[in-house]
Amino acid sequence: MSLPAATRFNLFVQREVGRLWLVVWVPTAIFVLSVIMRYRIRNVRDLRRRFRRLVRETDKPILICPNHLTMVDSALVTWALGGPWWLVFHYRWVPWNLPEYQNFASVWLSRIAAWATKCIPIVRGGEREQVSKVLKRIQHVVSRGDTAIIFAEGGRSRTGRIQMETIAHGMGRIVNSIPDCHALCVYLRGDRQDRWSTVPKRGDSFYVDFEVFRPESENSGMRRSRDFAVQIADRLVQLEDKYFALQQATA
């Protein structure tokens, strides 16, 4: 998991530049979500109370693994769990992200913005060596106290439900490679989100729930990583089933 010194230094510089701009870009992003787009998080006080209790009670490395329906899911998850000013004063909980290169980093201006907001672009389905380099960077930052978001599915779900056949094994690899790393499974869904989309509908309200656990496996190597990924996805499916059961009960 060791990275070249130059790579470690570049990640350190990227992290600290993000910290310097934090007081600008985090409140700005949340202003766009909450005021311009008029999004709302349901039961947000209880949700954040639960998350902050988790933060206080654990010193374990955490990898955030949400479901994936829109291109702004990572921003919504971060906002739902943290809130703007709490995040400003708890920088380690502003997660690193792995945006799709073509969506967020193919133009120089968006590439600079991504770099300054703790993003490491990745090419979905790209060369294995390049994907491995990106995952090693995430392993490095998470093992040193930061957190990161890796979506459980390889892309936005085309069915609107978690698809086990598209599970991203990279999340299992990262959790497996970091001693005692836990997965924070987050299920996020807009009330009017039937299927995948670019962004949620303006004015939508979001259901959010989460569970944290440490996957276990008697296997080793890649089999162990795959076992971890499947367990994380299974936990998300349980959260999804809980969501739809609640929707049916209140219909």
144 vs 150: CA distance, rounded Å: 17
Q: What is the mean pLDDT of residues 174-179?
A: 96
**E-state strands within 145-244:** 148-149, 182-190, 205-213
pLDDT category of residue 146 using cuts at 50, 70 and 90: very high
- The whole-angstrom separation of Cα 69 and Cα 160 is 7
For residues 1 and 140, the answer to whether their CB atoms sit within 8 Å is: yes
Number of domains within the chain: 1
Both structure tokens of 4: 């070249």
CA 79 – CA 225 distance, rounded (Å): 29
Residues 60-66 have a mean pLDDT of 97
Task: Work out the angle between the directed axes of helices 108-116 and 5-31 (0-180°, nearest 10).
Answer: 100
- Segment among 112-116, 188-192, 225-229 with least mean pLDDT: 112-116
pLDDT confidence band for 164 (50 / 70 / 90): confident
The string of pLDDT tens digits covering residues 44-60 is 999 999 999 999 998 89
Integer angstrom CA distances of residue 201 from 32, 39, 41, 80, 243: 13, 9, 14, 17, 19
- Rounded to 5 degrees, φ, ψ at 152 are -65, -30
Whole-number mean pLDDT of the chain?
A: 93
pLDDT for residue 95? 98
Cα 68 from Cα 166, distance rounded (Å): 11
Rounded to two decimals, what is the model's pTM?
0.94
- 19: domain CATH number? 3.40.1130
Asked if residue 104 has pLDDT above 80, the reply is no
* Nearest residue to 150 (alpha-carbon basis) of 176, 115, 186, 125: 186
Strand partners, 40: 205
Provide, rounded to the nearest whole percent, the portion of the chain with pLDDT above 90: 76
The domain containing residue 132 runs over which residues?
Answer: 5-250
